[in-house]
């Protein structure tokens, strides 16, 4: 009997389960350890590297379409200025947070004009294979100011662009349209 009592005294006590409060705190800590770094990484990417955007309207057709989703990269313009032909996303001063997407046509110091829908840069016609829908308008020569670009939509007949609001200062450019990810049929690099 004495042996039986010793055996009972030596058997380990079952581990105590933590209370609800401790379990909730553990779960909260695990979620925080996962979610907070993910949010910080997403914010860093959004602010400095790239962001997703959506095309609205027909001003860039047939190259970009309404509801097409794009990745806009924000890095390259930290190293060089926009180049002719780049498709850029920008803010128009005085229009709130609205973003527009257009193609860079004129660079700082260049003279841009249109004659019967043909764009001329410094008096020479610009080769624009991406333009299908031309307007037949005339635009008097204008010099693009320093640190600015002149932008036009690819669908000239249906575009609100630098012909209306003037050149865009480089500070208002968010980034360059880089990759199309939606719809699946249009996945690929933006040109």
Number of domains the chain is built from? 1
pLDDT digit string, tens, across residues 160-171 = 999 999 999 999
Q: What rounded mean pLDDT belongs to the chain?
A: 85
DSSP 8-class letter at 18: P
> Of 188, 168, 172, 175, nearest to 76 (Cα)?
175
What does pTM read for this prediction? 0.77
Q: Is 45 a member of any domain?
A: no
Lowest mean pLDDT across 80-84, 108-112, 149-153, 184-188: 184-188
**pLDDT higher for 112 or 62?**
112
CA distances from 19 to 25, 27, 28, 76, 187 (A): 10, 12, 14, 53, 51
Q: Is 60 a member of any domain?
A: yes
Dist. CA 64–CA 82, nearest whole Å: 19
| Residues known to be catalytic | 59, 102
Q: Name the percent of the chain lying above pLDDT 70.
A: 83
Q: Is 163 a member of any domain?
A: yes
Q: Is 8 a member of any domain?
A: no
Parent domain of 86: 53-189
């Amino acid at each position: 009997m004495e042996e039986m009592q010793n055996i009972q005294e030596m058997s380990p006590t079952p581990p105590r389960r933590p209370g609800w409060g401790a379990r909730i705190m553990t779960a909260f800590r695990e979620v925080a350890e996962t979610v907070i770094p993910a949010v910080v990484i997403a914010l860093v990417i959004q602010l400095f590297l790239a962001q997703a955007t959506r095309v609205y309207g027909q001003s860039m057709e047939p190259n970009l379409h309404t509801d097409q989703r794009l990745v806009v990269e924000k890095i390259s313009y930290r190293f060089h200025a926009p180049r002719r032909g780049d498709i850029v996303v920008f803010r128009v001063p005085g229009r709130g947070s609205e973003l527009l997407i257009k193609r860079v046509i004129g660079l700082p110091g260049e003279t841009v004009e249109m004659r019967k829908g043909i764009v001329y840069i410094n008096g020479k016609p610009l080769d624009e294979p991406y333009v299908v829908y031309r307007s037949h308008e005339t635009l008097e020569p204008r010099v693009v100011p320093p640190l600015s670009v002149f932008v036009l939509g690819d669908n000239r007949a249906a575009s609100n662009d630098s012909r209306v609001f003037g050149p865009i200062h480089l500070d208002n450019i968010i980034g360059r349209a880089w990759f199309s990810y939606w719809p699946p049929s249009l996945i690929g690099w933006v040109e």
